Amino acid sequence: MLDPEITAEAYQQLRKQDSAPLLLDVREPWEAELANIPGSTLMPMGDIPSRAHQELDPDQPIVVLCHHGARSLSVTMWLRDQGFDHAQSLAGGIDRWSRFIDPGIPRY
């Protein structure tokens, strides 16, 4: 099974591929308005239990994103318990992404 976390650098390489993972943003809408990674799908953490099985493909690779990586890791582990074996948390969240990959994304 995949490691539960993926680094920003490793995800940066994966997102360039045709079969890039779904980037699932589990932050609140106000956070996504402040800063977001283009192409991400917003599904706040509180909505995951009611929406995951209807809107996500358990066979698709999923990278879960939050602010610093705590919420995303929690959601990743829940998804894995639900059969989404290809879910990984973006280590360090959007904050790390902004610091090391895309400094144009605002930090908050």
The per-residue pLDDT string of the chain (108 residues; one tens digit each, 9 = 90 and over) reads 799 999 999 999 999 999 999 999 999 999 999 999 999 999 999 999 999 999 999 999 999 999 999 999 999 999 999 999 999 999 999 999 999 999 999 999
Catalytically active residues, by annotation: 66
Q: Record the pTM.
A: 0.97
CATH T-level topology, domain 5-100? Oxidized Rhodanese; domain 1 (3.40.250)
Taking the C-alpha atoms of residue 86 and residue 51, their distance in angstroms, rounded to an integer, is 17
Domain spans, the chain: 5-100
CA 71 to chain centre: 10
